[in-house]
Amino acid sequence: MNTTRGLRDTARTMCGLLLFVGLAVLAQAQNCSVASLAGTHFFQLSGTAPDAAGTRIIAWAELGKLIGDGAGHYTGTGTANAGGTIVPYGIKGTYTVASDCSGTQALDITPQGYPAYTADESFWLAEGGTQTVSATPEAEYVLTGHSYESAAAGSSACGNGSLIGSYSFLGSGYLATAAAVNITGQVVFDGQGGLTFQVAQNPTLNASGNGTYSVSSDCSGTAVLSGGGYTGDFSLAITGSGDVLVVSTTSDGSIVSGVWQPESFSLLLPQVAFGGGWYTALYFTNTTKAAVSFTVSFTADSGTPLTVPSLGGTSTQVMIPALGTTLIEMPNTGSLSEGYAAFIMPPGVSGYGVFRQSVTGKPDQEAVVPFAKANASWARFAWDETTHVTSIAIVNAGSVAASISITLWDSNGNTVGTSTLNLPAYQKTEAALRTLPGLSGMVGLSGRAEFDATSGNVAVLGLRFDGTAFTSIPANQ
C-alpha cells in the first residue's frame, strides 16, 4: 500500500463499504428523512481485497466512525489495516434520504499521507439502527461488516471507566506469514486504564499477561496487550450495547478483528433506603444449572461504605443454587439511611429491587425498581409533572468526578430547562427533579429528561410520586 493506486483502491473499498455500514441507521418503515441519519455510529469491516498492484489478495480490517447531523451532513474518521499497512483516514460529505429509506451520499475520503479520493454512492437505511450488516458489491473484494450505535449520546462522554470487568474475546484474521488465525480469550479491565488477559490463538499459542487501555470521550480508544509470547495493539470502539469492536493496528503485517463482549455487567441499585419508614430488598434469580456466588457492596451518599445492620456489614456474599432465587432485605428499623448497592451480575442471573414506604395511618406503598449500568455515560426517561412529582437518585460509581448535565424537554420538544450537577467519585445524591437549579419550569408539564456525564459515569433512577403512592420510572442507558 505504498502507491497512489493502492490508496485509490483503499478509498474505493471504504466507499463501497460505507455505502452500507457507516450510514445504515434507524429507519422508520417507509417514513425516513435526513433526520433519520443522526448521531455517532461505529463501523467494523473485515475480509480480503486486492493489493496495490492488483496481483494478489491481501487481508483487510477497518474500524471507524461517522457522525450524522440529521440535516444532510456528516463527518468521520477511521483506520484501515490493509495487509499490515495502517492507514488512518478522514471522511466528510453530504447525504439525502428519501421517505422510502433510500438515499445518496457524496464521500470525500482523505487517507493520511495519500491524495484524497471522492465517490458518489447510494444507500439504504436499515431498521433498528443499533446494528447493521454490509457486504461490498465490488468484484474481488470479499468484505463484510457491521455498524453499531455509539455508547455516547447527546453531550455525554466515555472514559476509561466505561470499560470495567471481564470481556470475552473472539477474533479472526491473518498473521504476518499470511496464515489464517483465530483467537479466543478474556480481557479484564480495571476501569482505570489497566487490563489483564488470557488468549488461545491457533495453532498452538496460549498466553496471558497484562496491558493498558485508553478510552476517549467519543467512546473510541486503544489497547495494548503483552505477555506470554503474545503482543497485540488494537483500536477499539464501545457500542451502545456495551460490546467493544476491535481491529489490530500492529505494523508487522498481522490483521485480526473481532468483538470483546461483556461476560458480566457492573450494575447498581441507584437508591437504597432503610429505616425512617423505608424498606429495600434486592431479588436475584439464577437461570443457570450451576450455583453462582457474587458480592453486593453498599455505599453511602457520601461515597463511604454504608453499614447495613441486618446484613452485619458494608457488603454481603450472595449464594444462589442452580435455578434458584435469593433475597436481600434491609428492614425499616431505626433512623433513615440512604446510599446505593453495587455488584457484578454473573451470566444467567437477573434481578430487581423493591422499595416499600410505611406511613402511619396509611397503607404501605411499594414499587419494583430496575437495576442500572454502573459504567454508563448517559440516561434518559420520560416524566409527567402535570399532577405528579418526579424524584431522582443519581450515582457516579466511577473513580473520577462526574459533571452531569441535565436537560428537560416538554411533550412538544421544546427545552424546559437545563441544570448541571457535579458528583465526586463514588458519590450519590437524590432530589425532586423540579428543585434542581433551572428545572422548576417542568411543573405542570410532561416530557423527556436526559442526563449526560461529560466526565465520569452516571446511573439514574426515577420515581414518580402522587402523595404517598409512587412507582419507578425506568431509564434508558
pLDDT at 336 over 80: yes
Q: Residue 18 and residue 24: Cα distance in Å, rounded?
A: 9
pLDDT of 134 reads 58
User: What is the gyration radius of the CA atoms in the chain, in angstroms?
Assistant: 25
**329 vs 173, residue with greater confidence:** 329
Which range among 11-25, 202-216, 276-290, 305-319 shows the weakest confidence by mean pLDDT?
11-25
pLDDT of 121 reads 67
Dump pLDDT digits (tens) for 83-98.
778 888 898 988 887 8
**48 vs 287, residue with greater confidence:** 287
pLDDT tier at 30, thresholds 50, 70, 90: low
| Residue % of the chain over a pLDDT of 90 | 43
**446 vs 69, residue with greater confidence:** 446
pLDDT at 288 over 80: yes
Candidates 336, 354, 335, 329; CA nearest to 273 is 336
Give phi and psi for 462, each to the nearest 5.
-105, 140
* Neighbour count for residue 324 (Cβ, 10 Å): 14
For residue 422, the surrounding DSSP H or E stretch is strand 415-423
pLDDT tier at 12, thresholds 50, 70, 90: very low
pLDDT of 410 reads 96
Give phi and psi for 161, each to the nearest 5.
-70, -10
E strand segments, 287-374: 292-300, 315-320, 325-330, 337-345, 349-357, 365-369, 372-373
For residue 198, the surrounding DSSP H or E stretch is strand 194-201
pLDDT at 441 over 50: yes
Candidates 134, 152, 258, 158; CA nearest to 213 is 158
pLDDT tier at 137, thresholds 50, 70, 90: low
Candidates 260, 81, 246; CA nearest to 174 is 81
What contacts 143, CB < 8 A, 6 or more positions away? 13, 16, 17, 45, 46, 47, 48, 49, 60, 135, 136
- Average pLDDT over the chain reads 84
pLDDT of 114 reads 76
Any bridge partners for residue 350, and if so which?
Answer: 285
Q: Residue 224 and residue 201: Cα distance in Å, rounded?
A: 17
pLDDT tier at 118, thresholds 50, 70, 90: confident
pLDDT tier at 136, thresholds 50, 70, 90: low
- The mean pLDDT value for 329-356 works out to 94
pLDDT of 457 reads 81
pLDDT at 455 over 60: yes
pLDDT of 153 reads 63
Give phi and psi for 64, each to the nearest 5.
-160, 180
pLDDT at 135 over 70: no
Q: Kindly list the structural domains of the chain, giving each domain's residue range(s) and its CATH number in brackets, ordered by start.
A: 4-149 (2.40.128), 160-262 (2.40.128.20), 265-371 (2.60.290), 378-473 (2.60.290.11)
- The mean pLDDT value for 372-388 works out to 90
pLDDT of 393 reads 94
| Residue % of the chain over a pLDDT of 70 | 88
pLDDT of 209 reads 94
**72 vs 137, residue with greater confidence:** 72
pLDDT of 17 reads 43
pLDDT tier at 390, thresholds 50, 70, 90: very high
- The mean pLDDT value for 149-166 works out to 76
pLDDT at 22 over 80: no
265-274, strands of its sheet edge to edge: 315-320, 292-300, 337-345, 265-274, 372-373
- The mean pLDDT value for 362-378 works out to 89
Dump pLDDT digits (tens) for 237-260.
998 778 899 988 877 777 888 899
Q: Residue 53 and residue 55: Cα distance in Å, rounded?
A: 5
pLDDT of 192 reads 83
Separation in Å, CA 67 to CA 72, 150, 221 = 11, 10, 17
**311 vs 180, residue with greater confidence:** 311
Q: Cell numbers 483506520 correspond to what residue?
A: 79
